[in-house]
Chain A
Amino acid sequence: MIDPGNPEPSDGLSRRGLFQAAAAGAAAVFMPTVVPASALGRGGAVAPSNRIVMGHIGVGGQGMQHVVGGVWTQTGGMTGRDDVHVVAVCDVNRQRLENARDQVNQRYGDKGCSSYRDFRSLLARPDIDAVLIATGERWHPLISMYAARAGKDIYCEKPLSVTIEEALAVRRVVDRHGVIFQMGTQQRSSHAFRHACELVRNGHIGTLREVVIGVGGPAGYKDCHLPEEPVPEYLDYDMWLGPAPWHPYHSSLVNGWMAWRDFSGGEMTNWGAHHFDIGQWGIGMDNSGPVEVRPPNGKDIKVLTYRYANGVLMTRDTDRTYRESPDGNGVIFVGSKGKVAVWRYDLKTWPENLKKHVTGPGEVRLHSSDNHHSDFLDSVRTRQQPNCPASVGARSITVGHLGNIAYELNRPIQWDPQSERFVNDPEATRLMSRPMRAPWRL
Chain B
Amino acid sequence: MRPYALIATAACLACGLASLSQTNEPAPPPPPLPEAVAQLKEWRFRADRSLLDGIATRVTESRATAASRREAAALLASVLRSPAAFDAKQFACRQLVLVGGAAEVPSLVPLLSDSRLAEYALQVLLHIPGDASTSALNRAAQVAGPARLGAIAVLGQRRDRRALPTLTALMSGGDAQAVWSAAASLAAIGGSDACSAVQNAYRLAPPAWRRVMAERLLTCAEDCLKQGDMGLCKAILSRLEADPAAAALRPALLLFAVRAMPETAGPRLVAAMRQEGSRTQRAAAQALRLLPGATAGALLSAELPKLGPNGRALALYALAEVNGSAATSAVASLLRDPVPSVRQAAARALGAIGGAKAVAPLLDVAAAGGAEAGAARTALGSMRSSDVEPGLLTAMQAGAPARRAAALTVLGDRRSSAVKPRLLAAAASNDVPVRQAALRIMRQIGEPSLAPNLVSLMRASPVGSRDEIAATLADVARRGQTEAERTGTLEAAAAVFKGQDLVDILGVLADVGGPGALKVLRAGLKDAAPEVRRVALTRLADWPSDDPMSELLAAATGAEAQRDRTVALRGYIRMIGMDLSRKPEATVQLYRNAANLARTPADRRMVLSGLGGLPSPIALGMASEMVSDPELRGEAELALVSIGRATAGAWRSETRASMASLATSAGDEAVKAKAAAIVELVDRFGDFVTAWKVSPAYTKEGVTFPAIFDEPFAPELPGAADRVPWRVMPAGGAADQPWLMDLLAVLGGEQRVAYVVTRVQSDREQPLLLQVGSDDGPKVWWNGEVVLSHNQPRACAPDQDRATVTARQGWNTLMVKVPQNVMGWGVCVRVAKPDGTAVEGLTFAVPE
Q: Which residues of A contact B (CB under 8 A)?
A: 1, 3-6, 8-14, 16-21, 24, 26, 50, 61, 71, 95, 149-151, 165, 176-178, 216-218, 220-223, 225-228, 245-248, 251-252, 254-256, 258-259, 266-267, 270, 295-296, 298, 304, 316, 318-319, 322-323, 326, 328-329, 358-362, 365, 368, 381-384, 407-410, 426-427, 429-431, 433-439, 441-442
> Using Cβ atoms and an 8 Å threshold, which residues of chain A touch B180?
3, 5-6
Please provide the chain B residues from 109 to 124 with a CB less than 8 Å away from any CB of chain A in the complex.
Answer: 116, 118-120, 122-123
* Interface bits B227-251 vs A (CB < 8 Å: 1, else 0): 0000000000000000000011111
* B285 near A5: Cβ-Cβ < 8 Å: no
Please provide the chain B residues from 159 to 182 with a CB less than 8 Å away from any CB of chain A in the complex.
Answer: 176-177, 180-181
* A382 near B314: Cβ-Cβ < 8 Å: yes
Known A10-B248, A245-B119, A254-B795; judge A438-B11 contact (CB<8 A): no
B123, B146, B314: the one contacting A245 at CB < 8 Å is: B123
Known A14-B277, A245-B90; judge A384-B2 contact (CB<8 A): no
* B797 near A251: Cβ-Cβ < 8 Å: yes
Q: 3 closest A-B pairs (Cβ-Cβ)? A: A17-B277, A255-B795, A322-B701
> Using Cβ atoms and an 8 Å threshold, which residues of chain B touch A409?
63
- Report B325 CB to chain A, min CB distance, Å: 18
- Bound-state CA distance A221–B49 (Å) is 10
For residue B794, CB closer than 8 A to chain A, the reply is yes
* B705 near A151: Cβ-Cβ < 8 Å: no
B282: nearest residue on chain A (CB-CB)?
A: A383
* B706 near A220: Cβ-Cβ < 8 Å: yes
* A246 near B751: Cβ-Cβ < 8 Å: no
> Using Cβ atoms and an 8 Å threshold, which residues of chain A touch B699?
326, 328
Known A1-B177, A298-B2; judge A9-B248 contact (CB<8 A): yes
A13, A225, A368, A407: the one contacting B49 at CB < 8 Å is: A225
A16: nearest residue on chain B (CB-CB)?
A: B277
* B44 near A227: Cβ-Cβ < 8 Å: yes
Dominant secondary structure at the B interface = helix
Q: Would you list 30 pairs from A and B whose C-beta atoms are within 8 A, ordered by A residue?
A: A3-B176, A3-B180, A4-B149, A5-B212, A11-B279, A13-B278, A16-B277, A17-B276, A17-B278, A21-B276, A71-B748, A150-B248, A178-B283, A216-B705, A220-B11, A221-B11, A221-B49, A245-B123, A247-B90, A248-B45, A251-B797, A256-B823, A259-B794, A267-B704, A304-B3, A328-B701, A384-B321, A410-B60, A435-B119, A438-B118
- Report A5 CB to chain B, min CB distance, Å: 5
For residue B286, CB closer than 8 A to chain A, the reply is yes
B316: nearest residue on chain A (CB-CB)?
A: A382
> Using Cβ atoms and an 8 Å threshold, which residues of chain B touch A10?
248
B185: nearest residue on chain A (CB-CB)?
A: A441
- Bound-state CA distance A177–B176 (Å) is 24
Q: How many residues of B are in contact with the other chain, CB < 8 A?
A: 112
Known A1-B176, A225-B45, A251-B797; judge A26-B276 contact (CB<8 A): yes
* A6 near B215: Cβ-Cβ < 8 Å: yes
* B702 near A319: Cβ-Cβ < 8 Å: yes
For residue B543, CB closer than 8 A to chain A, the reply is no
- Report B747 CB to chain A, min CB distance, Å: 13
B10: nearest residue on chain A (CB-CB)?
A: A220
> Using Cβ atoms and an 8 Å threshold, which residues of chain A touch B281?
17
* A362 near B176: Cβ-Cβ < 8 Å: no
> Using Cβ atoms and an 8 Å threshold, which residues of chain A touch B287?
178
> Using Cβ atoms and an 8 Å threshold, which residues of chain A touch B146?
438
* B317 near A382: Cβ-Cβ < 8 Å: yes
- Report B236 CB to chain A, min CB distance, Å: 14
* A217 near B415: Cβ-Cβ < 8 Å: no
For residue B389, CB closer than 8 A to chain A, the reply is yes
* A11 near B44: Cβ-Cβ < 8 Å: no
For residue B781, CB closer than 8 A to chain A, the reply is no
B148, B309, B822: the one contacting A24 at CB < 8 Å is: B309
- Bound-state CA distance A409–B704 (Å) is 23
* A383 near B314: Cβ-Cβ < 8 Å: yes
- Bound-state CA distance A165–B158 (Å) is 12
For residue B678, CB closer than 8 A to chain A, the reply is no
> Using Cβ atoms and an 8 Å threshold, which residues of chain A touch B529?
none
A95, A322, A430: the one contacting B98 at CB < 8 Å is: A430
- Bound-state CA distance A438–B180 (Å) is 13
B122, B177, B414, B796: the one contacting A435 at CB < 8 Å is: B122
For residue B154, CB closer than 8 A to chain A, the reply is yes
- Bound-state CA distance A382–B322 (Å) is 13
Stretch from B70-78, B193-201, B380-388 forming part of the interface with A: B380-388
> Using Cβ atoms and an 8 Å threshold, which residues of chain A touch B276?
17, 20-21, 24, 26
* Interface bits B791-826 vs A (CB < 8 Å: 1, else 0): 001111100000000000000000000000111100
* A362 near B386: Cβ-Cβ < 8 Å: yes
- Report A389 CB to chain B, min CB distance, Å: 11
B255: nearest residue on chain A (CB-CB)?
A: A178
- Report A120 CB to chain B, min CB distance, Å: 13
> Using Cβ atoms and an 8 Å threshold, which residues of chain A touch B294?
none
A176: nearest residue on chain B (CB-CB)?
A: B252
For residue B102, CB closer than 8 A to chain A, the reply is no
B91, B176, B181, B706: the one contacting A223 at CB < 8 Å is: B91
* A323 near B751: Cβ-Cβ < 8 Å: no
For residue B318, CB closer than 8 A to chain A, the reply is yes
* Interface bits B48-72 vs A (CB < 8 Å: 1, else 0): 0100100010001001000000000
Known A11-B247, A217-B4, A245-B90; judge A151-B704 contact (CB<8 A): no
* B46 near A227: Cβ-Cβ < 8 Å: yes
* A246 near B706: Cβ-Cβ < 8 Å: no
> Using Cβ atoms and an 8 Å threshold, which residues of chain B touch A61?
823-824
* B45 near A228: Cβ-Cβ < 8 Å: yes
> Using Cβ atoms and an 8 Å threshold, which residues of chain A touch B3?
216-218, 296, 304, 316, 407
> Using Cβ atoms and an 8 Å threshold, which residues of chain B touch A227?
44-46
* A362 near B279: Cβ-Cβ < 8 Å: no
> Using Cβ atoms and an 8 Å threshold, which residues of chain A touch B701?
319, 322-323, 326, 328
B90, B126, B184, B218: the one contacting A433 at CB < 8 Å is: B126
For residue B211, CB closer than 8 A to chain A, the reply is yes
- Bound-state CA distance A296–B11 (Å) is 20
- Report A178 CB to chain B, min CB distance, Å: 4
B117: nearest residue on chain A (CB-CB)?
A: A246
For residue B94, CB closer than 8 A to chain A, the reply is yes
> Using Cβ atoms and an 8 Å threshold, which residues of chain B touch A222?
56, 94
- Bound-state CA distance A430–B93 (Å) is 13
B388: nearest residue on chain A (CB-CB)?
A: A361
For residue B772, CB closer than 8 A to chain A, the reply is no
> Using Cβ atoms and an 8 Å threshold, which residues of chain B touch A435?
119, 122-123, 126, 150, 153-154, 157
* Interface bits B87-98 vs A (CB < 8 Å: 1, else 0): 000110010011
* B2 near A296: Cβ-Cβ < 8 Å: yes
- Report A42 CB to chain B, min CB distance, Å: 19
For residue B736, CB closer than 8 A to chain A, the reply is yes
Known A245-B120, A323-B702, A362-B384; judge A218-B823 contact (CB<8 A): no
B310: nearest residue on chain A (CB-CB)?
A: A20
- Bound-state CA distance A259–B119 (Å) is 21
For residue B775, CB closer than 8 A to chain A, the reply is yes
Add 19 more A-B contacts to A13-B279, A245-B119, A255-B823 (CB < 8 A). A6-B211, A10-B248, A16-B277, A17-B276, A20-B277, A176-B255, A177-B252, A178-B286, A217-B4, A223-B94, A256-B795, A258-B793, A266-B7, A361-B389, A384-B320, A429-B127, A435-B154, A438-B119, A438-B147
* Interface bits B410-422 vs A (CB < 8 Å: 1, else 0): 0000110000000
* A216 near B751: Cβ-Cβ < 8 Å: yes
- Report A355 CB to chain B, min CB distance, Å: 11
